[in-house]
Each structure stands twice: as C-alpha cells, then as structure tokens.
Structure 1
C-alpha cells in the first residue's frame, strides 16, 4: 500500500508540496552508510533517486496497472486484480488496447465466474455508471453503445460485490432507509454528484442488504410517506 499511494517524484502533488523528498529522507536517513561523507546537496539528490528506484521495483512486483499501461504491457494486466477506481477510469482503454482478454473478463463478470473489486468506490459512483452517467469519455454510434454495455456489466458486478461485502459485515440486515428525493437534494456535493444521487444509492444498497420484512423496501421522505 505504501508503494501504491506514495506520491511520485516531480508529479503534480510533489511539485506543489515537495513531499517526496521528505518521505525519502524519512525512509533513508543520512546516517545510513551509503550516504557517509556526501554533501547535503548530493544527499538530497541521491535520496530522491533511491526512493524513485525503490518505488519502481515495488510497482513492478505489484504489477501496477498504470505502470503496465504506460509501458504498453497490456497482456500482463490481470483484470480481476485491477482496483475498482482504476477499472472505472480505464475500461475504455482496456477495451481498445487488449480487446480479446478484456471482453473475456467482462463476459466472466456477466456470468458470475469472477467477482469484481469494489475498493474505495462509493455506492453512488457505481449507480451512476450503471445508468450511463459515470464515464468521462464521449462516443458515437456502435462504439458508444458497446462502451455503455461494458459499463453496465462492470457496474452490476461491482454492485453485487458491494452488497455481498456489506451483507457479510452483518450490521444492517434489520434496517430500512428513508429516501429523500425532494428538490433540495438536487444540490451538488461534488462534480457531477448531487445529494439525491447519494440518497438513492444508499437507499437501494440498504434495501438489498436488509432481511425479513425490510428486505427490498424503503420509505419515501415526504408529507405522506410510503413504503415502497
């Protein structure tokens, strides 16, 4: 996880904060024998280079999808291990550069042969992708239709995995959601995300997780609430 989330040298976050040098100095202090007798300026250069090499080796060992993509090593990507956020951002690229293997993976998802990763995805992110609002790219004709179909398969598999994970935790099976879809919920809370998106997604998730009389039910938030 350290290698996965560590900022990259000279990339945007590091250019704004210079945090990579601080991380490198903490990991490889000047008291190490390899830095004995070097000047402060030379140490600063060498310690950053050491961090770069260590991160590169770790990412290679992890088979990090972004690294493999940037190097054109598409056949080495294990789609069942691709993090959910990476899959959401790069599904179209996988289809364009490694169509045979990627469509085989999508087919396995549709048939339930493999389980999708959910990672840090929120319920509303999955739901918006399922209804065709989560993608950034634009397309036309058959290409767009095929992309939407892939998105729906992936979103469905991710949703089922999310429901299974929440159900396995065993803390919400006796709950029921009150879903607010009033006009005030149209307010944006993030780019392309409204309060209503979050409300609907969480309500649907809770309805699927619930058991007994609450199963697959929710209550509307209005002057005359209804059980639906």
Structure 2
C-alpha cells in the first residue's frame, strides 16, 4: 500500500481488521480487482478474514460507505468458522435492548443474539426471546444482516424479565409443535447489562424448582440451562458458585460461545470457569506462591 502497488495486493491474505479499516482504499485504488475478490467470496471461491473482529465491530461496519458489503461477508465467515467447531444445538437467546443498554452493550447484545440464532439448528434457528415480563418467541425478520439487526432492536422490552414465563413460552411452543426431547431447547443465553438477580423478577432457586416440575410434567427430563452474559463491568456474584443450571460469563468476545459448543457436563459458574481455563494455552502456566 505504501508503495501504491494496489494491483498486486493479495486480498485473501489481508487480516480482518485491516480489511475492515482499509476496504474503502481498496475500492478507491483497485476497484475492479477488489470487486472481483468480493464476488469470489460470495460464490465460495475465496475467503475473507474475520477471526480478529468481535461481532459488534462487524455490525458497526454496516454503516460504512461500502453499504456493509464487506461486513456481511465477514459476518458469514465468522459464523462458518464457529460452526465448523461445533453447533450450538437447540439454543435460544434473550437480547436486552432496553434504554439502559445504550452504547456498546446494546450493539454487543444484538450481535451475540444474532450469532446464537445463526448458529442454532431448527426449529430454533433464526429466533429470539424478547427481554420482557411478557416474553415472546419471535422470528428475526429481514433478508440481510442490516434488516435483521433492525428487527431485533425494534423488539418489545422491559427493565427485567420473568424467567418462569420464558420457560412457559418454550414449553408452549414445544408442546404445540410436538417436539421430542432432542428438539427441546438445551441452553438459553441472556445478553444484558443487568445483574442476574436484577434481571429476574423472582428468586432463581424458586424459579428453577418450578421450571423443573413443569418440564417433567410435560414429559421432558432435561431443563434448559441459562447462560447469563453480563455486558457491564461488575464485581458482584449474583448467584452461588455451584448454582445448578446457571453459567455466568461477561465480555464481548464471540470466543466465549465456543465454551458451549459441545454438549455434556454440569453447568454452574465454577464448571464454566474451569472449562474456560482448560485449554492447551493454559497448560504452560505455572502458579507460584
């Protein structure tokens, strides 16, 4: 680039952040070759980098001068890369889009919610639960990434949600569709800036007992687990470390979703933490006292 040799740039080797930052320059100085590269990506004949970008950074680029063309391709690459590592089978997300989420948190909530819906399998693929005291299962509308984001942002919201009603809604849909145990929701992601006890209208242990009873009475042995994803800085511990059926995570990274790609194991805050630090990259660490 510095030598103005635009006609020899290998676009398939351009890093994800560089592609995001310099795509307008590529279009300005090498429009024909760059458009040819993008068309190849669309047809699956070339790949565009996306690994270093966070989901909300990609959707923020939809407002760029290229009309979001590069962002859409990077989003699809991100979805494909995560899907190749496993499926978030039978998962749903609750996205908090209330006024308190203004700024980065609402962008992260929408982006991660869309990502979960894209990674899920039928019959839950492309659907979200509204963050509301009267939660509804809604199909994300739109035929492109931008219109889907607008659809999520327009969903009904309240300052907290009733988790018993959330699970009642899941049961209602499952019984109407006569879903088998394998098709039932296994995990529910809640993307919000609120603490767990603030987001719930009731005590979780009381809720969990009632939810378990309702599912068992309806013929389902397993109760969906909740992954509460806090999108604000917090030092609070809203649920006990061994609280059954709940995982607590925080941050903006899509890589955290990889913790939940494989089924199995006991889900609670401690188990989630242990899984997060069980990778090969941690084996070389030595703890000294």
Q: How does 1:70-85 map to 2 (within 5 A)?
A: 70-85=2-17
CA displacement, residues 83-136 of structure 1 (integer Å, 9 cap, x when unaligned): 110011001111122222112112223333322210210111111212x1xx4x
Contact 2:87–2:120 under 8 Å retained in 1: no
Within the candidate set 21, 44, 59, 1:89 is matched to 21
User: Which one of 186, 200, 213 corresponds to residue 110 of structure 2?
Assistant: 200
Looking at structure 1, the residues matched to 19 and 135 of structure 2 have their Cα atoms a distance apart, in angstroms, of: 38
Greater RCO (Cα-Cα under 8 Å, separation 6 or more): 2
Give the TM-score normalised by the residue count of structure 1.
0.57
Measure, in 2, the Cα distance between the counterparts of 1:197 and 1:96. 29
2:31 pairs with 87, 99, 112, which one?
99
Partner of 2:55: 123
What whole-Å deviation, never above 9, does each CA across 1:133-152 have from its counterpart, x for those lacking one?
A: xx4xxxxxxxxxxx434xx2
Is 1:148 matched up with 2:66? Answer: yes
After superposition, the C-alpha distances for 1:46-100 in whole angstroms (9 at most, x for unaligned) are xxxxxxxxxxxxxxxxxxxxxxx11222222100110110011001111122222
Q: Name the CA distance, whole Å, in 2 between partners of 1:124 and 1:94.
A: 23
Q: Retained in 1: the 8 A contact 2:24–2:66?
A: no
Deviation at 1:170, TM superposition (A): 1.1
Higher helix proportion: 1
How far apart are residue 171 of structure 1 and its match? 5.0
For 1:42, the equivalent position in structure 2 comes to: none
RMSD (CA atoms): 1.6
Which structure's residues are more often strand, by fraction? 2
TM-score w.r.t. the length of structure 2 is: 0.45
Supply the distance in 2 between the matched residues of 1:179 and 1:166 (Cα, whole angstroms).
Answer: 20
Describe the SS at the equivalent of 1:148.
coil
| Number of equivalent positions | 138
Task: Identify the range of structure 1 (99-108 vs 199-208) with the bigger mean alpha-carbon deviation.
Answer: 99-108
Gaps of 5+ in 1: 1-68, 136-146, 189-193
Match of 1:209? 119
